Amino acid sequence: MKELILRGLTGSVIVLAIVGSLLVSSHAFAALFLVITIFGTFEFYKMLGKTRYKAQITFGTAISAILYTILALIAHGYLDALYISIVVALFFVVPVRELYRDSKCPIPNISLTLFGILYVGLTFGMLNFLFYHGYQGKGTFHFILAFFAVIWTSDTFAYLTGVTFGKHKLFKRISPKKSWEGFFGGLFAAIAVGYIFSIFYTELDPITWIAYAFVISIAGVYGDLIQSMFKRSLGLKDSGKILPGHGGILDRFDGVFVAAPVALAYILLVL
């Protein structure tokens, strides 16, 4: 019970911080996720601590933060998209730095460093484009608000439905506790969120809103499973301990890492 209460309190703080930043200003949202990006990237590299692979933790975290910042500034309209070439140039510094580390596993080290940057920095950076991409050229936070509402609601109802009715394993090899019953419970809840948003926000018609929620929910499940795969391969229960009751940054935002690019692609294709 104590763990459940702690989890609920932490989750509430996270929800209030994100929704609050959306309502305060676009800059507040960008700043919040810059901090999350830094901690998330560092956490990803620290997960490798017990392996023989040694990512470039400090440099990789710095590049991830730079990538996120440039993407946020591009999304704001402060920078041209060509500035992304700065990050591309920094990517090639990673193998150069590896030359001076005298490592026995240079290729895995370089690969893991670059993957951490893309997995966290690029994905969270995409959220800024989702925030600013409005209907018919008008800025709106409705799409990014719906994105998180779907992720949170789907995850919550998947857990509740799975605990109550779960019998058929969804992906036993990777996540033994997840069930098909939980999957469909989360999916139906996400569809309900999509319909509710169609009532209050008319940028999209009900079918398009529901489809938006549908693809986010599906993608979020894959994000969850991928993070579970990472942890299982490393023999970890949680990615970190920074969030009481939840584990780490990557545990709390696991669904976002697949859902964010899918949601952005959907909005770009549909609108």
d(CA 2, CA 8): 10
The sign of the dihedral angle between the CA atoms of 217, 221, 226, 232 is positive
What integer pLDDT is reported at residue 138 of this predicted model? 58
Q: Give the pLDDT score at 270.
A: 84
- Report the pLDDT value the prediction gives residue 132, as an integer from 0 to 100: 56
Measured distance CA(114)–CA(88) in Å, rounded: 11
What pLDDT sits at residue 137? 53
Give the predicted TM-score (pTM) of the model.
Answer: 0.92
Q: How does DSSP classify residue 176?
A: E
Q: Which residues pair with 18 in a beta bridge?
A: none
For the chain, residues with pLDDT lower than 50 are 133-134
